Structure 1
Amino acid sequence: MAKLYFRYSAMNAGKSTALLQVAHNYEEQGQVVKLYTAAIDNRYGVGLITSRLGPQREVDTFDGGTNFLAAAPKVSCVLVDEAQFLSKEQVQQLHQVAQVRGVPVICYGLRSDFRGDPFPGSAYLLALADDIEEIKNICTCGKKATMNVRVDEAGRRIREGEQVSIGGNESYRQACGRCFYAQ
Structure 2
Amino acid sequence: MGHIETIYGCMFAGKTTELIRRVEGKNVLAFKPKLDNRYSTGHIVSHNGETLKAVLIDRAEEIMDHVNGKAEYIAIDEVQFLNSIGSVCRQLANQGYKVVCAGLDLDFRGEPFPPMPYLVAVSHSVTHLRAKCVCCGKPATRTQRLIDGQPAHVDDPVIMVGADDLYEPRCVDCHEVRGVRKKMF
Q: TM-score scaled to structure 2, two decimals?
A: 0.86
Name the aligned partner's letter for residue 16 of structure 2. S
Q: Using the alignment, how far apart are the partners of 2:177 and 2:115 within structure 1? A: 28
> 2-side partners of 1:81 and 1:87: how far apart?
13
Residues 162-181 of structure 1 aligned to structure 2 (within 5 Å):
162-181=157-176
Distance 2:125 2:89 in 1: 13
Distance in 2, matches of 1:97 and 1:65, equals 11
Counterparts in 2 of 1:139-158, with a 5 A limit?
139-140=133-134, 141-153=136-148, 155-158=149-152
Counterpart residue number, 2:117:
123
Give the CA RMSD over aligned residues: 1.9
Decide whether the 8 Å contact of 2:7 with 2:128 is kept in 1: yes
**Match for residue 95 of structure 2 among 84, 96, 101:** 101
Q: Could you say which structure has the higher helix fraction?
A: 1
Residues in 2 aligned to 1:115 and 1:72: alpha-carbon distance in whole angstroms: 35
Return 5+ residue gaps in structure 1 as ranges.
Answer: 27-31
The residue that corresponds to 1:29 in the other structure is: none
Cα drift, residue 47 of structure 1: 2.8
Give the alignment of 1:23-172 within 5 angstroms.
23-26=23-26, 32-64=27-59, 66-74=61-69, 75-88=71-84, 90-98=85-93, 100-140=94-134, 141-153=136-148, 155-160=149-154, 161-172=156-167
Alpha-carbon spacing, 1:2–1:66, altered in 2? closer, same or farther (3 Å) = closer
Could you report, residue by residue, the CA deviation over 1:70-117 in whole angstroms, capped at 9, with x for unpaired residues? Answer: 3322111100010111112x320111211x211110100000100111
TM-score, normalization by structure 1: 0.87
Q: CA deviation at 1:51?
A: 1.8
Aligned residue for 2:159, secondary structure, equals coil
Tell me how far apart the structure 2 counterparts of residues 148 and 130 of structure 1 sit (CA, whole Å): 26
- C-alpha distance in 1 between matches for 2:109 and 2:73: 33
- Distance in 1 (CA, whole Å) between partners of 2:6 and 2:150 is 31
Structure 1 or 2: larger strand share? 2
